[in-house]
Chain A
Amino acid sequence: AQKVTQAQTEISVVEKEDVTLDCVYETRDTTYYLFWYKQPPSGELVFLIRRNSFDEQNEISGRYSWNFQKSTSSFNFTITASQVVDSAVYFCARASGNTGKLIFGQGTTLQVKP
């Protein structure tokens, strides 16, 4: 199976620290899409970003940034100056084929302490 791996199960940081969440994926497709979602304690998954395999430019949105490296099949997510509200489970996912099915990683639980 073409997996998505998030090796970090849990990360704990103190507020204002920077933190990077790792994501490594497997694929045989030449064109594919990658996603990050946030799941706060309420349970709903919140969409953060979508990136296609042709665009390797890093992206920044406020305190969030993403580093996509096709050569290492990685799509890492960095939160700068973390805040308590960033505490959540973060999922990386890859779209599979033309069906739109998402293959999710196991998730990384981020705890930001005051």
Chain B
Amino acid sequence: DGGITQSPKYLFRKEGQNVTLSCEQNLNHDAMYWYRQDPGQGLRLIYYSQIVNDFQKGDIAEGYSVSREKKESFPLTVTSAQKNPTAFYLCASSIASGTGTDTQYFGPGTRLTVL
């Protein structure tokens, strides 16, 4: 079945540690996105990539890093520089026609808790 997978579903991190969240899609989509959701709030864009080997910062990129070495994969690293990383992280993908019209489809999310 086509879709977006994220792993792990739950992740616990000690302060000062870097952690990497996985996002994989088999929809053959060019564009991929990472969002952060805090309780009672909407989603905020962290990073996005419209093509392999290229990515751009979103609205809240500080303390995060990404890579896009393969079309189907867009891992997100939460570094120790991120001051308040406890949140729900959602990955999305879209066709990326370049017109801003594409529907984004979301994965099931990873809930990160810093202990």
Contacts and interface: CB of A to CB of B under 8 A. Distances in A.
Interface of A: 4, 9, 32-33, 35, 37, 42-47, 50, 52, 91, 93, 95-102, 104-107
Q: Which 10 A-B pairs have the closest CB atoms?
A: A104-B42, A45-B106, A43-B109, A98-B100, A44-B108, A104-B43, A95-B100, A106-B42, A50-B103, A100-B100
Contacts of A52: 101
B103 to A, nearest CB: 5
A69 to B, nearest CB: 20
Contacts of B58: 101
Contacts of B90: 43-45
Given A33-B100, A47-B103, A100-B48, 14 more contacts: A35-B103, A37-B106, A43-B108, A91-B42, A95-B102, A96-B100, A97-B100, A98-B99, A100-B101, A101-B33, A101-B100, A102-B104, A104-B42, A107-B41
A112 B42 CA distance: 21
Contacts of A99: 48, 50, 56, 100
Contacts, number: 74
Given A35-B103, A44-B106, A44-B107, A102 B50 contact: no
A102 B101 contact: no
Interface residues of B, number: 30
Given A43-B109, A100-B94, A105 B103 contact: no
B4 to A, nearest CB: 9
Contact of A100 (B44, B104, B108): B104
Given A95-B100, A96-B100, A102 B105 contact: no
B40 interface: yes
A93 B42 CA distance: 9
A33 to B, nearest CB: 5
B40 A100 contact: no
Contacts of B106: 37, 44-47
Given A97-B100, A98-B98, A106 B45 contact: no
Contacts of B92: 45
Contacts of A9: 40
Contacts of B98: 98
